[in-house]
Amino acid sequence: MSVCVTGMGALSILGKSLSAHAQVLFSPTQNGEKVALAYAPRVDRLSQTPPDLRMIEIEDEIAHFQQLLNCPLSRNGVLALCAFEESLVSAQLDISELQGKKIAFILGTTAGCSGTDTQYIEDFVMDRSPDPSSFRVMLRQNPAEVLRKYCVARGVSASFELMLVNNACTSATDALGLASKLLETEDYDFAFAGGTDEILFQTYYGFASLQLLSSHFRSSPFDKNRDGLLLTEGAAILCLEKAEKFNKRRLGAKAFGEIIGYESVTETFHQTSSSPEAEGLTEATRKLLGKAQFSSSDIDFISAHATGTPNNDATEGAFFLKNFPNTKITATKGYTGHCLGAVGALEVIFCMLSFAEKKLPATLGFVEADPSIGIVPVKEVTPFVPFKKVPIALSTSVGFGGVNSILLLRGVAE
């Protein structure tokens, strides 16, 4: 059974729509010098502020959705709503078509569900007796639940199933993987899956304390001088449908692509570092390709997790070189930064756009190969011709706790 990607919605610091992302990703770069960040860094908390929190301007959207849903909403929920609305448009689905259907909202997030009212927590831990009403609202901000509320507010009565996956940086990849598998067994009409994460200053300081942030405020995947990641926020939601239902709904229409495999393995090496031998990635890939009956030479390109941290990129790079010597590698965190629980889905969307454009985005930020790894990802926007009729790609994600998750993706035949 085939699971099709029939709609997509994305927000990141690159832009607030699919077209904005495509425009930047597939325009020529000059050795990583051209950076097209749509939104400027914003200082949020004066002297206590991290120097460069990159936030998406969604103030208008927050006001709009709060009015529509008649309740306060977190940034996390609003980011998800923006991506969800775009995914509906992209899938050519009017909201009324969800009426009476069986719908799954399977989303990933990380910090977004840990309570986002920082002023409340600050007052609470300092014994300043805060009014808990704002935080009480935040505790109920499960983004999957927010999407359901949106549907109900728009008059949709349907059977909803909600899941919120919190697997650190692999959250969205796992949400997509689980959704694609459950779509096969649970008879959902639609599964909207992906991830959303707002940037929180406590997360920023946590990553800073682990010395994982780039001192140059940009991510340089696989580069010799990479020195860490750029923490950002974003949301990406994909509409998944079974092929036969999609074909019936939109006769003759083409999907963006398919999710044809998913595996996740936890390596028991360290809480916050990958094993140098990439044990988790190796095992997950072996299982994934084995089940799908593919070999590494069938893979046209890989969208790498590649955060720009010395440890992650060394592990991942060495793994790719050894196991996928003829496969093109691209990494997009130089554009988007690392939006944690959303990034896996964002990168799957970029793979789908690559299928459509027949081009791979450049690895922005990569200038010089690290001789200790030896990997050279695509440096410029690169056209590709699939090895076979239909392009095949892998999207990898690696997260805290040793989680390694991989999705196997397929484009559509001409």
The residues assigned a catalytic role are 169, 305, 338
Minimal distance in Å, beta carbon 388 to other proteins?
Answer: 25
Distance CA 366, CA 82 (A): 31
Minimal distance in Å, beta carbon 97 to other proteins?
Answer: 23
Among 141, 214, 219, 264, binds other proteins (CB under 8 A): 264
Minimal distance in Å, beta carbon 72 to other proteins?
Answer: 16
Among 121, 292, 356, 390, binds other proteins (CB under 8 A): 121
In this complex, which beta carbon is closest to other proteins, that of residue 210 or of residue 321? 210
Decide: is 113 part of the binding site for other proteins (CB under 8 A): yes
The footprint of other proteins on residues 177-206 (CB under 8 A) is: 178, 181-182, 185-186, 201-202, 205-206
Decide: is 400 part of the binding site for other proteins (CB under 8 A): yes
In this complex, which beta carbon is closest to other proteins, that of residue 17 or of residue 114? 114
- Kindly report the number of other CB atoms within 10 A of residue 413's CB atom: 10
Among 145, 227, 298, 357, binds other proteins (CB under 8 A): 145
Minimal distance in Å, beta carbon 159 to other proteins?
Answer: 11
Q: What string of H, E and C letters represents the secondary structure of the chain?
A: CCEEEEEEEEEECCECCHHHHHHHHCCCCCCCCCCCCCCCCCCCCHHHCCCCCCCCCCHHHHHHHHHHHCCCCCHHHHHHHHHHHHHHHHCCCCHHHHCCCEEEEEEECCHHHCCCCHHHHHHHHCCCCCCCHHHHHHHCCCHHHHHHHHHHHCCCCCEEEEEEECCHHHHHHHHHHHHHHHHHHHCCCEEEEEEEECCCHHHHHHHHHCCCECCCCCCCCCECCCCCECECCEEEEEEEEEHHHHHHHCCCCCCCEEEEEEEEEECCCCCCCCCCCCHHHHHHHHHHHHHHCCCHHHCCEEECCCCCCHHHHHHHHHHHHHHCCCCEEECCHHHHCECHHHHHHHHHHHHHHHHHHCEECCCCCCCCECCCCCCCCCCCCEECCCCCCCCEEEEEEEEHHHEEEEEEEECCCC
Interface with other proteins by CB under 8 A: which range of 58-66, 91-99, 161-169, 390-398? 161-169
Distance CA 260, CA 258 (A): 6
In this complex, which beta carbon is closest to other proteins, that of residue 148 or of residue 226? 148
In this complex, which beta carbon is closest to other proteins, that of residue 34 or of residue 45? 45
Minimal distance in Å, beta carbon 224 to other proteins?
Answer: 26
Q: Is 207 left (phi over 0), alpha (psi -120 to 50) or beta?
A: alpha
Minimal distance in Å, beta carbon 35 to other proteins?
Answer: 28
Decide: is 122 part of the binding site for other proteins (CB under 8 A): yes
Interface with other proteins by CB under 8 A: which range of 5-13, 79-87, 125-133, 236-244? 125-133
Among 43, 63, 95, 139, binds other proteins (CB under 8 A): 139
Q: How far is CA 244 from CA 240, 276, 363, in A?
A: 12, 43, 36
CA proximity to 348, closest of 21, 81, 15, 98: 21
Among 17, 66, 114, 311, binds other proteins (CB under 8 A): 114
Decide: is 290 part of the binding site for other proteins (CB under 8 A): no
Binding mask 70-109 toward other proteins (x if CB under 8 A, else -) reads: ----------------------------------------
Decide: is 46 part of the binding site for other proteins (CB under 8 A): no
Minimal distance in Å, beta carbon 280 to other proteins?
Answer: 8
Decide: is 403 part of the binding site for other proteins (CB under 8 A): yes
Decide: is 115 part of the binding site for other proteins (CB under 8 A): yes
Q: Which residues bind other proteins (CB under 8 A)?
A: 48, 110, 113-115, 121-122, 124-129, 131-132, 135-136, 139, 142, 144-145, 161-168, 174, 178, 181-182, 185-186, 201-202, 205-211, 263-268, 271-272, 279-280, 283, 287, 291, 399-403
